[in-house]
């Protein structure tokens, strides 16, 4: 049931490793095993509603959930963690005991690295030469102190996440004994807040202090979050003092990080600041050629040159154009020629960048259609999760693709205030960063809107 609600990839990553331990009918207690506290955290953060619905369906109202974190199979060490489904509550709170931080228990750390982001498929160019070379040096020798922290910054879609994953994977390959962890700043913050709520901050800190190579992606997300910053400061100091490697990414350099504590900014500059610059035309061309070869496509040189010359800001955009081109040519059974490339580029990257004005009505209709939700529901005050999501997406798309003020957008989607609109846009953009399949769906929807 879970697998039919999420993508195969998501299921394989998050649910396939979860095991059934037992169900106690008298106590209505279901016990599941999870391979790491992270998997549990992630599932609860992203799939709590789905999990709850499935459990209620299978086991009835009021079923309680307990996790066993299988951290060391040989010594049979496991932590029991309980969560309670309160059927009366609309948002059940799962209670748990927190992260088990004993060094033994942490042997089997799930590093959260994305296996597809390797050095082998990270095409080299002038714009990424420095961070790439330093990344390779760190992977060779993670105990060096010169590049600690490595702070990589650059705009959206220039390859930050890919590169830091590649570094992490290479470290693991060359030094399997090291504990490498990749975490987005957003997830770090969520886990931290959670640990405050459950009174397990010490465990949280101890866990992070046990890492050898800590990679935190998009640290600009820490801006204005004072408590998270404070906690991260302690973790940073401990790791740094003990010669552990920190790798951070940000969408801007430290000087431009507003809302970040001075003492953290100072530390960010201790090691190496390396910019991932916007890809040069020749790198864009090389990446296109690489991906075209890999996907077995047939694209002529003038078309490649045209795309490389036009799509100039982000490699993510470049990939998007290529994927759309492939889709159009397959669906319409036509060659990928210049005309098609022009159309696809203006529909995907070109138009969204110019903020071509779509109408609110279009956005609402298309989004409702895409999510199979009634427009009346979106405009009503219902708090049903799928409706809330669709409503938030409408507000987000309206903010991205129209020139209307948040007040006007709020008024349109059922008399909502501008704070609600801002909050919704933030919620959607955070999820876009954390949830790849959600991002793919929203991109698809945006593609439809552009047609």
Contact residues: ligand ADP, CB under 6 A: 117, 121-123, 128, 154, 156-162, 287, 315-316, 319
From Mg ion, ligand ADP, none, interface partner of 287 (C-beta below 5 to 8 A by class): ligand ADP
From ligand ADP, Mg ion, none, interface partner of 406 (C-beta below 5 to 8 A by class): none
* DSSP sequence for 383-427: --HHHHHHHHHHHHHHHHH----HHHHHHHTTS--HHHHHHHHHH
- Asked if 184 interacts with Mg ion (CB under 5 A), we say no
Q: Are 428 and 396 in contact (CB under 8 A)?
A: yes
Q: Which residue is nearest to ligand ADP (CB)?
A: 159
Long-range contacts of 437-441 (CB under 8 A, 24+ apart): 437/6, 437/7, 437/9, 437/10, 441/370
Closest CA relative to residue 323, chosen from 355, 350, 348, 346? 348
Dig out the tokens for 437 from the structure. 């399949």
Q: Which residue is nearest to Mg ion (CB)?
A: 161
Task: Give me the residue label for tokens 């992070």.
Answer: 208
- Asked if 100 interacts with Mg ion (CB under 5 A), we say no
- Pattern 398-417, Mg ion, x by CB under 5 A: --------------------
Burial of 176 (C-beta count, 10 Å sphere; 0-12/13-18/19+): exposed
Nearer to Mg ion, 78 or 161 (CB): 161
From Mg ion, ligand ADP, none, interface partner of 401 (C-beta below 5 to 8 A by class): none
Nearer to ligand ADP, 293 or 369 (CB): 293
- Residue of the chain from 10, 161, 210, 229 that contacts Mg ion (CB under 5 A): 161
DSSP assignment letter at 348: I
Residues of the chain by 3-state class (helix, strand, coil), percent to 5: 55, 10, 35
Residue 74's CB: how many other CB atoms inside 10 A?
7
Q: Pick the stretch among 40-48, 160-168, 196-204, 314-322 that binds Mg ion (CB under 5 A).
A: 160-168
From Mg ion, ligand ADP, none, interface partner of 138 (C-beta below 5 to 8 A by class): none
- Asked if 112 interacts with Mg ion (CB under 5 A), we say no
Rounded-to-integer distance, Cα 436 and Cα 440, Å: 6
Nearer to Mg ion, 200 or 220 (CB): 220
Rounded-to-integer distance, Cα 156 and Cα 10, Å: 23
Nearer to Mg ion, 66 or 160 (CB): 160
Q: At what angle do helices 418-434 and 436-450 cross, to 10 degrees?
A: 120
Nearer to Mg ion, 66 or 186 (CB): 186
The least distance separating ligand ADP from the CB of residue 34, rounded to whole angstroms, comes to 27
Residue 180's CB: how many other CB atoms inside 10 A?
25
Nearer to ligand ADP, 36 or 250 (CB): 250
Rounded-to-integer distance, Cα 283 and Cα 299, Å: 17
The least distance separating ligand ADP from the CB of residue 318, rounded to whole angstroms, comes to 7
Nearer to ligand ADP, 38 or 117 (CB): 117
The least distance separating ligand ADP from the CB of residue 291, rounded to whole angstroms, comes to 7
From Mg ion, ligand ADP, none, interface partner of 315 (C-beta below 5 to 8 A by class): ligand ADP
From Mg ion, ligand ADP, none, interface partner of 319 (C-beta below 5 to 8 A by class): ligand ADP
Q: Are 63 and 85 in contact (CB under 8 A)?
A: yes
Binding site for Mg ion (CB under 5 A): 160-161
């Amino acid at each position: 049931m879970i697998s039919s609600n999420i993508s195969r990839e998501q299921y394989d990553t998050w649910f396939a490793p979860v095991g059934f331990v037992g169900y106690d009918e008298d106590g209505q207690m279901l016990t599941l095993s999870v391979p790491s506290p992270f998997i549990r955290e992630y599932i609860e953060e992203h799939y709590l509603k789905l999990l709850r619905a499935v459990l209620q369906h299978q086991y009835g109202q009021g079923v309680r959930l307990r996790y066993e974190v299988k951290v060391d199979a040989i010594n049979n060490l496991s932590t029991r963690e309980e969560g309670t489904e309160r059927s009366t509550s609309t948002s059940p709170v799962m209670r748990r005991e927190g992260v088990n931080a004993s060094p033994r228990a942490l042997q089997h750390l799930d590093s959260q690295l994305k296996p597809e982001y390797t050095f082998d498929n990270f095409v080299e160019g002038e714009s990424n030469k420095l961070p790439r070379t330093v990344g390779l040096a760190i992977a060779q020798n993670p105990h060096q102190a010169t590049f600690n922290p490595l702070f990589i910054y650059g705009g959206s879609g220039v390859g930050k996440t890919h590169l830091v994953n590649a570094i992490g994977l290479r470290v693991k390959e060359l030094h399997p004994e090291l504990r490498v962890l990749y975490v987005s700043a957003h997830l770090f913050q969520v886990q931290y807040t959670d640990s405050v709520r459950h009174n397990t901050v010490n465990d949280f800190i101890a866990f992070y202090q046990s890492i050898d190579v800590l990679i935190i992606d998009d640290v600009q997300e820490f801006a204005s979050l004072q408590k998270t910053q404070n906690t991260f400061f302690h973790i940073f100091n401990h790791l740094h003092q003990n010669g552990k490697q920190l790798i951070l990414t940000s969408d801007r350099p430290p000087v431009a990080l507003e809302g970040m504590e001075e003492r953290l900014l100072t530390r960010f500059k201790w090691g190496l600041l390396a910019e991932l610059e916007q890809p040069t035309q020749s790198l864009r061309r090389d990446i296109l050629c690489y991906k075209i070869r890999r996907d077995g496509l047939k694209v002529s040189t003038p078309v490649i040159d045209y795309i490389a010359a036009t799509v100039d800001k982000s490699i993510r955009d470049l990939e998007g154009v290529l994927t759309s081109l492939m889709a159009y040519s397959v669906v319409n059974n036509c060659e990928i020629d210049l005309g098609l490339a022009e159309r696809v580029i203006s529909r995907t990257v070109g138009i969204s960048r110019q903020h071509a004005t779509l109408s609110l009505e279009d956005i609402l209709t298309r989004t409702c259609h895409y999510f199979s939700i009634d427009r009346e529901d979106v405009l009503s005050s219902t708090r049903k999760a799928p409706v809330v999501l669709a409503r938030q997406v409408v507000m987000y798309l309206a903010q991205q693709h129209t020139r209307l003020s948040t007040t006007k957008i709020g008024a349109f989607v059922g008399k909502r205030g501008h704070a609600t609109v801002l909050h919704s846009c933030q919620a959607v953009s955070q999820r876009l960063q954390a949830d790849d399949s959600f991002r793919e769906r929203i991109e698809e929807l945006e593609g439809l809107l552009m047609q």
